Chains A and B, each alone.
Chain A
Amino acid sequence: MGKGKLTDEEIVNGILSQNTEVLKFVYENNFKSVKKHIEDNNGSESDAQDIFQDILILLFNKIRNNELTLTCSFNTYLMAIAKTQWLNILRKRKKIHIPISEQEHLLECDEDLNEKLIQAEKERLITQYLGELPKECKKIMDLILNGSNLIEITDQMGYNSVQHTKNKKLKCKKNLISKIMSNPRFKELADGKCKENNSIPRW
Chain B
Amino acid sequence: MENVKKIIQYQDGDASETDAQIELKISENKRLKKIFELNNEINRISNDKGLLNFIEKTSSLRNEYSENPKIAKTIHLKNWFLAASIFIISGLLVFYFVNKRNPNDRIFGQFYSKYEISIATRSGIADINELTAAIQYYDQCQYKEAIIRFNKILSTDKNNISALFFSAVSYMEIKDYQKAAVNFKCVINLKDTAFAEHASWYLALCYIKTNNIQMARNIISQIAESDSYYRAKACELSKKLNNP
Contact = CB atoms under 8 A, between A and B. Distances in A.
Contacts of B133: 184, 187
Contacts of B128: 182, 184, 187
Given A18-B54, A201-B47, A203-B43, A44 B61 contact: no
A169 B35 CA distance: 16
B43 A201 contact: yes
A93 interface: yes
B43 A53 contact: no
Contacts, number: 140
B142 interface: yes
Interface of chain A, helix or strand or loop or mixed?
A: helix
Given A202-B12, A203-B12, A177 B39 contact: yes
Nearest to A124: B55
B37 to A, nearest CB: 6
Contact of B50 (A64, A170, A201): A64
Given A31-B65, A49-B62, A127-B56, A190 B38 contact: yes
A178 B38 CA distance: 10
Given A53-B58, A197-B44, A181 B35 contact: yes
B124 interface: yes
Nearest to A190: B34
A60 B50 CA distance: 10
Given A127-B45, A166-B14, A200-B11, A94 B148 contact: yes
Contacts of A181: 34-35, 38, 125-126
A181 B34 CA distance: 9
Given A28-B70, A52-B62, A170-B5, A20 B57 contact: yes
Given A23-B61, A190-B34, A195-B37, A177 B45 contact: no
Interface in A86-133: 93-94, 122-124, 126-128, 130-131
Contacts of B142: 44, 46
B13 interface: yes
Interface of B: 1, 4-5, 8-9, 11-14, 33-35, 37-47, 49-59, 61-62, 65-66, 70, 121, 123-126, 128, 132-133, 136-137, 142, 144-145, 148, 152
20 contacts: A20-B57, A23-B57, A23-B61, A44-B145, A53-B58, A61-B51, A122-B41, A126-B41, A130-B42, A174-B5, A174-B124, A177-B39, A180-B38, A182-B136, A184-B128, A184-B132, A197-B37, A197-B40, A200-B40, A202-B11
